[in-house]
């Protein structure tokens, strides 16, 4: 039986009166407030579900008469209303509505009530999708399911949450393409690009992939690297080499640093796109090119690229420079250099000793002054003069090779004088926030499509664009699902 709007509202009023009586009894029975709070929440969910049903009932099942004109043809109202499932944050509704078409066995060409209500393509409301995926981008699907069930008294399956994640992420590219550039007055005068890689544990590709006995040190799971990129602008922060050394040694308090402006993050896996295998690094550096043209159209901002010593990434920067026609100052992250300096120090001094710290401090200071050649030459001399074990000689050789291979990217004296950043903390944090915190939970394994969908939504969430993205999805869906929506609304207002 289909209730009228008035019947549904009266039923909700009756339920509310019952709640008021129940509240009075709860007080006289001296019940604990937490018990009342929990029970009250469940009762109010049901009242709200009933009110939502009354709202839908007011549309009269979307009956706009026996016929409608659609795309130059006349379509007729089919005899029996059709029912569709709708799961709201208050509970499930069965929405009965008339459809228009040629016959029952053919596609329904116009569904006025769906268009008037702006129903999504799936059974789940846009609000519920927003809330559920808001949980899922922060915690595992099973944990999210548990929290949703506790709060909304709904029990979505893990599979439905995974499918919802993929469907939602399919709108990410369109959303990014639609984003306008940030207002010029909110941008800093220096543009910074930064990229790094982070592994994502993957599922075995199929049942045919046999398990093999692992060698010592091997890990059971295979990882596919995600390339994580960040773009932001920033105010200059001029410092001396001594300022950096003292700050590193904690001899002086950290100065108030300028904050990155309009920071945007992305993460891309190597994956098939339109039938072609596309490298994740190519996706990120293609995005860098777009960001440079969008946020630095006059090419009047100096562009700095901060990364570690990954040769593949530096090769991508060379290609990027040719693509955009803009000079890019490439800088090796100083924190990665420090790790190598400590490794060299432990070839000569005990771990954690003052001598090791003095060794690192002296060479850091020289690097910051631009004396890269001196540091490399000094390490080579020490390698020759000191009688090191084979393992320590190999360890020191790795340090010397790393510094030699990246010598062109260690212009720290220029960066400090110009106020450019020299540490890639933004992308290091992005690798943790976007990838590790969500993708590397205990027992987690991902397929490529599912991992990329989650990375897209994680990036949108970390960028602070979640609400704007949800509104974009709804607007896009309304255009695609109901191109006739405006015409139906005009007809409905005439008949209402």
- CA pair distance 325, 323, nearest whole angstrom: 6
User: Using the 8-state DSSP alphabet, how is residue 60 labeled?
Assistant: G
Assess contact for 413 and 368: CB atoms under 8 A. yes
For residue 460, is pLDDT > 90? yes
- CA pair distance 76, 68, nearest whole angstrom: 6
For residue 252, is pLDDT > 70? no
| C-alpha dihedral sign at 437, 440, 443, 448 | positive
Average pLDDT over residues 159-163: 96
Provide the pLDDT for residue 221: 55
Q: What are the φ and ψ backbone dihedral angles of 122, each rounded to 5 degrees?
A: -95, 180
- Can you count the helices (H) and strands (E) in the chain? 20, 12
- CA pair distance 399, 379, nearest whole angstrom: 9
Q: Which two tokens stand for residue 416?
A: 């400090």
Provide the pLDDT for residue 205: 64
Q: Which two tokens stand for residue 204?
A: 């075995």
- CA pair distance 279, 194, nearest whole angstrom: 17
- CA pair distance 177, 203, nearest whole angstrom: 31
- Provide the 10 A C-beta neighbour count for residue 286: 17
Assess contact for 303 and 294: CB atoms under 8 A. no
- CA pair distance 274, 60, nearest whole angstrom: 44
Query: 198-226: per-residue pLDDT in tens?
Result: 999 998 765 544 554 545 544 555 889 99
Written as one string, the DSSP assignment of 232-273 is: EEE------HHHHHHHHTTSSPPP-PPPPEEEEEEEEE-EEE
- CA pair distance 57, 9, nearest whole angstrom: 10
- CA pair distance 197, 95, nearest whole angstrom: 48
Average pLDDT over residues 149-177: 95
Query: 70-118: per-residue pLDDT in tens?
Result: 988 999 999 999 999 999 999 999 999 999 998 887 888 999 999 999 9
**Is residue 75 helix, strand or coil?**
strand
Provide the pLDDT for residue 423: 87
Out of 246-250, 415-419, 448-452, which region has the weakest mean confidence (pLDDT)?
Answer: 246-250
Average pLDDT over residues 130-148: 96
Q: What are the φ and ψ backbone dihedral angles of 346, each rounded to 5 degrees?
A: -75, -5
User: Using the 8-state DSSP alphabet, how is residue 121 labeled?
Assistant: S
Q: Measure CA 353 to chain center.
A: 42
Average pLDDT over residues 306-332: 93
Average pLDDT over residues 132-137: 96
Provide the pLDDT for residue 401: 96
Provide the pLDDT for residue 275: 87
User: Using the 8-state DSSP alphabet, how is residue 182 labeled?
Assistant: P
Written as one string, the DSSP assignment of 413-428 is: HHHHHHT-----HHHH
Query: 370-419: per-residue pLDDT in tens?
Result: 999 999 999 999 999 998 999 999 999 999 999 999 999 999 999 999 99
User: Using the 8-state DSSP alphabet, how is residue 431 labeled?
Assistant: I
Average pLDDT over residues 16-28: 95
490 or 250: whose pLDDT is higher?
490
pTM of this prediction? 0.90
């Amino acid at each position: 039986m289909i209730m009228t709007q008035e019947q549904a509202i009266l039923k909700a009023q009756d339920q509310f009166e019952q709640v008021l009586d129940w509240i009075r009894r709860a007080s006289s029975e001296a019940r604990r407030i937490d018990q009342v709070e929990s029970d009250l929440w469940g009762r109010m969910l049901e009242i709200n579900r009933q009110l939502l049903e009354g709202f839908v009932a007011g549309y009269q099942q979307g009956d706009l008469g026996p016929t409608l004109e659609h795309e130059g043809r006349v379509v007729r109202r089919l005899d029996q209303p059709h029912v569709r499932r709708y799961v709201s944050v208050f509970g499930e509704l069965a929405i009965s509505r008339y459809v228009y078409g040629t016959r029952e066995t053919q596609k329904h060409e116009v569904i006025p009530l769906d268009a008037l209500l702006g129903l999504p393509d799936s059974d789940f409301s846009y609000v519920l999708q927003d809330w559920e995926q808001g949980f899922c981008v922060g915690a595992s699907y099973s944990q999210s399911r548990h929290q949703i069930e506790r709060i909304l008294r709904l029990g979505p399956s893990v599979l439905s949450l995974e499918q919802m994640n993929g469907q939602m992420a399919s709108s990410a590219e369109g959303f990014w393409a639609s984003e306008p550039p940030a207002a010029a007055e909110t941008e800093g005068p220096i543009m910074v690009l930064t990229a790094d890689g982070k592994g994502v544990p993957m599922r075995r590709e199929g049942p045919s992939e046999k398990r093999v006995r692992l060698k010592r040190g091997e890990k059971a799971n295979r990882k596919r690297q995600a390339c994580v990129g960040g773009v932001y602008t920033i105010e200059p922060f001029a410092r001396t080499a001594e300022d950096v050394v003292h700050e590193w040694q904690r001899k002086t308090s950290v100065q108030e640093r300028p904050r990155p402006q309009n920071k945007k993050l992305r993460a891309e896996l190597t994956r098939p796109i339109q039938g072609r295998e596309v490298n994740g690094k190519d996706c990120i550096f293609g995005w860098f090119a777009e960001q440079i043209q969008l946020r630095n159209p006059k090419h009047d901002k100096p562009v700095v690229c901060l990364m570690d010593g990954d040769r593949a990434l530096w090769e991508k920067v060379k290609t990027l420079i040719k693509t955009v026609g803009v000079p890019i100052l490439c800088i090796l992250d100083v924190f990665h250099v420090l790790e190598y300096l400590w490794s060299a120090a432990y070839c000569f001094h005990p771990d954690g000793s003052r001598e090791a710290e003095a060794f690192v401090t002296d060479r850091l200071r020289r690097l910051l002054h631009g004396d890269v050649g001196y540091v490399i030459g000094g390490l080579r001399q020490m390698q020759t003069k000191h009688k090191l074990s084979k393992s320590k000689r190999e360890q020191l050789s790795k340090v010397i090779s790393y510094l030699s291979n990246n010598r062109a990217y260690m212009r720290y004296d220029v960066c400090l004088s110009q106020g450019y950043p020299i540490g890639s903390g933004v992308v290091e944090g992005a690798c943790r926030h976007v990838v590790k915190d969500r993708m590397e939970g205990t027992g987690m394994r991902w397929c490529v499509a599912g991992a990329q969908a989650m990375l897209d939504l994680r990036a949108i969430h970390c960028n602070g664009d979640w609400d704007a993205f949800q509104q974009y999805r709804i607007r896009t869906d309304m255009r695609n699902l109901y191109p006739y929506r405006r015409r139906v609304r005009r007809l409905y207002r005439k008949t209402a």
